């Protein structure tokens, strides 16, 4: 039996979503660009899906553009907005703890004549709003700050950042992938202009994402072709996946309050037990402003990779950081931005809960964690020196 506690890396598609997708693989297979009735059936689910996703974030259906996933949505938001609006300025602000895709897009913008500023965070990973305000100049056109961090789970003061951007007449993009389905998001309340969403992060199919584009916000397309998605993302729409994301959005809207309450109970049980049973262990991220499904620790004298392998032997799947950059030996840029030393950043463990977890998963983890840490510390010359 496997115990899966790494929902931030990947989620299983909900069976109800699979059931909702199946008719669009064979029976209702039309192309929404076709004008006949078979095409109309595809158009119907395409537009209904925009509606369901819009309803879930306080947006209108015409403000939703389908993409191939979060990475593409981030590219479309940052590159599409910056190139379209470069006559207004060439300065873009991001936070130091953004997802690797945002950092690499920022590098690309830099190579293309844009100036990038990175705003620091405090020791808990909260973006320093006063530093953000200081970075803004009359050349700033766009600010991008993730809604919540995908590694340490810290939730940002999004409405404050949105209000600041609105006051300064700067567009505000947020990558909401880590927060979607876990926090209620309202693009109007928070003055969000562009928002990245991913289908799999709400238990929908992989290979599909969305970008919310507020009415009146102008962006350039990155993919040119037949003019689908209001000309902003050409290519025949992936209707089965879009039907799946519709179902996933409807389910999450109904079940989020109950589901997140359960995650929070499990999360708090994990945090309380680990901090009380394991000496010299610390919680990364914010003690309260954190995602309900995220527990992230560091352990003195223990290396994250060895932790992960020890859990693997016990058939428990956990993570040491973002799966998107886990194959590099570099410590997580997010943990370094908190002010941690390299060796501290390497001794981290990320646990993320999800829809199909039961208390037995939590208990399986807690039953072995203290012993695993103790054993690894016995093997660590570094730890022995310190005690």
Residues that bind ligand PMP (CB under 6 A): 69-71, 99, 101, 146, 150, 175, 177-178, 198, 324
Answer for the pair 271, 283: CB distance below 8 angstroms, yes or no: yes
CA–CA separation, 1 and 258 (whole Å): 26
350 alpha carbon, distance to own chain's centre: 14
Provide, rounded to whole angstroms, the least separation between the CB of residue 93 and ligand PMP: 17
CA–CA separation, 363 and 373 (whole Å): 16
Of 148 and 349, the one with the shorter C-beta distance to ligand PMP is: 148
Of 176 and 307, the one with the shorter C-beta distance to ligand PMP is: 176
Torsion 78-81-86-90 (CA) sign? negative
277: tokens are 């049973």
Of 73 and 228, the one with the shorter C-beta distance to ligand PMP is: 73
Q: Kind and range of the H or E element at 4?
A: strand 3-4
Provide, rounded to whole angstroms, the least separation between the CB of residue 206 and ligand PMP: 7
Of 23 and 235, the one with the shorter C-beta distance to ligand PMP is: 235
Provide, rounded to whole angstroms, the least separation between the CB of residue 88 and ligand PMP: 26
Of 151 and 303, the one with the shorter C-beta distance to ligand PMP is: 151
Of 146 and 244, the one with the shorter C-beta distance to ligand PMP is: 146
Neighbouring CB atoms inside 10 A of 39's CB total 14
Active-site residue identified among 18, 55, 129, 324: 324
Cα–Cα nearest to 354, from 69, 16, 12, 19: 12
Provide, rounded to whole angstroms, the least separation between the CB of residue 97 and ligand PMP: 10
Alpha-helical runs (H) found in the chain: 15-21, 37-57, 70-84, 100-111, 129-135, 158-168, 239-277, 304-313, 333-337, 342-346, 359-379, 381-386
Provide, rounded to whole angstroms, the least separation between the CB of residue 317 and ligand PMP: 16
Of 43 and 104, the one with the shorter C-beta distance to ligand PMP is: 104
132 alpha carbon, distance to own chain's centre: 21
End-to-end CA distance of the chain: 37
Answer for the pair 309, 365: CB distance below 8 angstroms, yes or no: no
353: tokens are 């809960």
Provide, rounded to whole angstroms, the least separation between the CB of residue 106 and ligand PMP: 14
CA–CA separation, 167 and 144 (whole Å): 16
Question: Who's near 264: CB < 8 A, 6+ residues apart?
Answer: 292, 293
Q: DSSP character for 201?
A: G
Coil, strand or helix: which one is 253? helix
Active site residue 324: yes
Strand partners, 211: 65, 196
Provide, rounded to whole angstroms, the least separation between the CB of residue 196 and ligand PMP: 6
CA-CA distances (angstroms) from residue 75 to 29, 78, 90, 111, 199? 29, 5, 16, 15, 16
Provide, rounded to whole angstroms, the least separation between the CB of residue 14 and ligand PMP: 17
Of 126 and 136, the one with the shorter C-beta distance to ligand PMP is: 126
* Residues with catalytic roles: 324
């Amino acid at each position: 039996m496997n115990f899966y506690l790494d929902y931030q890396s990947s989620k299983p598609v909900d069976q109800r979503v699979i059931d909702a997708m199946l008719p669009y693989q064979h029976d209702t297979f039309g192309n929404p660009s076709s004008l006949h009735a078979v095409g109309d059936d595809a158009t119907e689910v395409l537009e209904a899906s925009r509606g369901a996703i819009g309803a879930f974030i306080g947006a209108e259906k015409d403000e939703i553009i389908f993409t191939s996933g979060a990475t593409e949505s981030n590219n479309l938001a940052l590159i599409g907005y910056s190139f379209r609006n470069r006559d207004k300025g060439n300065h873009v602000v991001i936070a130091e703890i953004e997802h690797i895709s945002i950092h690499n897009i920022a590098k690309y913008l830099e190579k293309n004549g844009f100036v990038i500023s990175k705003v620091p965070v405090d020791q808990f990973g909260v973006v320093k709003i006063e530093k953000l305000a200081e970075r803004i100049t009359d050349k700033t056109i766009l600010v991008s700050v993730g809604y919540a961090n995908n590694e340490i789970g810290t939730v940002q003061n999004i409405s404050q950042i949105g209000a600041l951007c609105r006051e300064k007449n700067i567009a505000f993009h947020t990558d909401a992938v880590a927060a979607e389905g876990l926090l209620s998001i309202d693009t109007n309340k928070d003055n969000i202009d562009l928002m990245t969403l991913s289908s799999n992060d709400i238990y929908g199919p992989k290979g599909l994402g969305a970008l919310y584009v507020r009415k009146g916000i102008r962006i350039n397309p990155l993919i040119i072709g037949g003019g689908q998605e209001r000309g902003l993302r050409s290519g025949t729409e992936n209707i089965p996946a879009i039907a799946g994301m519709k179902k996933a959005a409807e389910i999450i809207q109904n079940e989020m309050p109950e589901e997140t309450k359960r995650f929070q109970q499990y999360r708090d049980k994990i945090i309380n037990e680990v901090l009380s049973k394991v000496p010299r262990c610390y919680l990364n991220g914010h003690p309260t402003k954190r995602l309900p499904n995220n527990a992230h620790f560091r352990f003195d004298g223990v290396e994250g990779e060895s932790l992960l392998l020890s859990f693997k032997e016990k058939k428990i799947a956990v993570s040491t950081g973002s799966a998107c950059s886990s194959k590099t030996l570099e410590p997580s840029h997010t943990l370094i931005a908190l002010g941690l030393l390299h060796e501290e950043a390497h001794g981290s463990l990320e646990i993320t809960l999800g829809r199909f977890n039961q208390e037995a998963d939590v208990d399986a983890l807690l039953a072995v964690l203290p012993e695993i840490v103790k054993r690894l510390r016995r093997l660590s010359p570094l730890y022995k020196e310190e005690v």
